[in-house]
């Protein structure tokens, strides 16, 4: 084979291998991973979680994720920002396409720097968020507020809260009712229980909502007569993550660290108040960036939803919830692991290097062979 032809073939092979690896790691990998996920099936008779019963057409298909932490203008390297946003966009768009949720909840900390970003940077973050989490009219996107969006209690003010609420066109504390299911959204950043104006306003709203929900259970028509699914950014009070298990629980060395009230978790008082007011059948929260299942007072289950950003975890996931007015079932959908993607890149890189080395040795051998042949001919002359 002529040398030109070998070199050309090798170049084409190299381009195909590099392009194929890139295409797989950055685009295709989300498809087989998310295809493994399915909506859980619920059984009205069991009144709780289950995956082996018949599907209920009347159930709401809700996808829940948390802590996207879109990097702002100050923190984070531009490449980190580019890569994390690309990963989240691809994972979200692929999940929408394959799973077709009716409603998606994001449990706060949408933006990493909402607590201090200037108006110009805020608008840029919001524009990128809308591009990444674009969706068709069949899917509703509901966003909750987190401490990184408006600041911790001591940092938040009306300007930041209203700026956030204006972008998502809704109050941060409200009830969203779909197919007879009440989803209660709580601004958990404002539950310090002090007399700060935002805290007072949120508590007033919560008291009104709890009264309306309780009246509905007694027969009024304000809301469907069913206890709510409560969604919020901060988890309810728990001592630590020591009891958490599963592949996305906090690392063993961090699980026993005690949580600080009003910083890592809600205060005991605020948690008790929420449970008393609403008696939720399920609580979904974010903020810790790790997965956990907790049962409060032996009857109120809470799921900590891990971060959706690969900046915070090797194995982000989303919760798939099938919810009817009387029952629900949950499953966790894991997304591609960062370590798998790095392994694929490293393996492909090693193979390419070996291929290049083999080619160089082969060319070197060919040249030596040619020079020996020419030398032999010269001598024979
Ligand atoms: Zn967070
Ligand atoms: Zn947070």
- What is the distance between the alpha carbons of residues 255 and 241, in angstroms, rounded to a whole number? 5
Domain locations in the chain as residue ranges: 38-341
Whole-number mean pLDDT of the chain?
A: 90
Place of tokens 């003010």: 157
pLDDT-flagged residues of the chain (< 70): 1-4, 44-57, 374-381
- In sequence order, what E strands does 215-367 have? 229-232, 282-285, 292-296, 300-304, 317-323, 328-334
Specify whether the CB–CB gap between 203 and 247 falls below 8 A: no
C-alpha 234 – ligand 2 centre gap (Å)? 7
C-alpha 210 – ligand 1 centre gap (Å)? 27
Q: Which residues surround ligand 2, an ion (CB under 5 A)?
A: 109, 146-147, 287
- What is the distance between the alpha carbons of residues 217 and 227, in angstroms, rounded to a whole number? 8
C-alpha 308 – ligand 1 centre gap (Å)? 10
Bridge-based pairing of strands 328-334 and 317-323 is antiparallel
Per-residue model confidence (pLDDT) at position 355: 82
- What is the distance between the alpha carbons of residues 182 and 227, in angstroms, rounded to a whole number? 7
Per-residue model confidence (pLDDT) at position 286: 98
Q: What is the pLDDT of residues 195-225, one digit of tens each?
A: 889 999 999 999 999 999 999 999 888 899 9
Q: Which residues surround ligand 1, an ion (CB under 5 A)?
A: 67, 109
In this structure, the number of other CB atoms found within 10 A of the CB of residue 338 comes to 16
CATH superfamily, domain at 38-341 = Metallo-dependent phosphatases (3.60.21.10)
C-alpha 286 – ligand 2 centre gap (Å)? 7
74-82 long-range contacts, CB within 8 A, separation 24+: 74/113, 74/116, 74/117, 75/112, 75/113, 76/112, 76/311, 80/311
Ligand number nearest CA of 70 is 1
Strand order in the sheet with 292-296: 174-178, 181-186, 229-232, 282-285, 300-304, 292-296
Ligand number nearest CA of 112 is 1
Ligand number nearest CA of 67 is 1
Model confidence, pTM:
0.89
Per-residue model confidence (pLDDT) at position 2: 53
Ligand number nearest CA of 234 is 2
C-alpha 242 – ligand 2 centre gap (Å)? 19
How far from 5 is each of 52, 243, 302, 361, CA to CA, in Å?
Answer: 59, 63, 64, 17
Per-residue model confidence (pLDDT) at position 44: 59
C-alpha 324 – ligand 2 centre gap (Å)? 29
Ligand number nearest CA of 313 is 1
C-alpha 334 – ligand 2 centre gap (Å)? 21
């Amino acid at each position: 084979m002529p040398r030109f032809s070998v070199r050309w073939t090798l170049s084409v092979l190299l381009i195909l291998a590099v392009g194929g690896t890139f295409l797989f790691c950055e685009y295709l990998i989300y498809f087989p991973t998310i295809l493994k996920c399915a909506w859980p099936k619920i059984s009205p008779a069991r009144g709780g979680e289950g995956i082996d019963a018949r599907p209920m057409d009347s159930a709401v298909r809700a996808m829940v994720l948390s802590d996207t932490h879109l990097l702002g203008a100050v923190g984070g390297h531009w490449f980190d920002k580019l890569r994390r946003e690309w990963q989240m966009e691809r994972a979200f768009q692929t999940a929408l396409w394959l799973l077709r949720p009716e409603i998606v909840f994001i449990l706060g900390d949408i933006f990493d720097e909402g607590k201090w970003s200037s108006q110009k940077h805020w608008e840029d973050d919001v524009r990128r968020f809308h591009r990444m989490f674009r969706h068709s009219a069949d899917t509703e996107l509901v966003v909750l507020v987190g401490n990184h969006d408006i600041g911790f209690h001591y940092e938040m003010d009306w300007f930041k809260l209203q700026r956030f609420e204006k972008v998502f066109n809704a109050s941060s504390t409200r009830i969203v009712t779909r197919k007879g299911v009440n989803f209660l959204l709580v601004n958990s950043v404002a539950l310090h229980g002090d007399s700060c104006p935002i805290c007072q306003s949120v508590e007033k709203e919560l008291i009104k909502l709890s009264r309306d929900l309780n009246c509905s259970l007694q027969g009024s028509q304000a809301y469907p007569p069913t206890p709510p699914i409560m969604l919020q950014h901060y988890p309810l009070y728990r001592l630590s993550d020591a009891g958490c298990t599963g592949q996305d629980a906090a690392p063993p060395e961090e699980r026993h660290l005690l949580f600080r009230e009003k910083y890592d978790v809600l205060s005991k008082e605020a948690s008790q108040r929420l449970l008393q007011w609403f008696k939720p059948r399920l609580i979904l929260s974010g903020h810790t960036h790790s997965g956990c299942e907790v049962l409060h007072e032996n009857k109120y289950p809470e799921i900590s939803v891990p971060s959706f950003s690969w900046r915070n975890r090797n194995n982000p996931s989303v919760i798939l919830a099938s919810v009817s007015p009387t029952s629900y079932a949950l499953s966790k959908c894991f997304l591609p692991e960062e370590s798998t993607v790095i392994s694929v890149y490293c393996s492909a890189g090693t193979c390419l290097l070996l291929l290049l080395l083999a080619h160089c040795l082969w060319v070197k051998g060919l040249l030596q062979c040619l020079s020996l042949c020419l030398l032999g001919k010269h001598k024979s002359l």
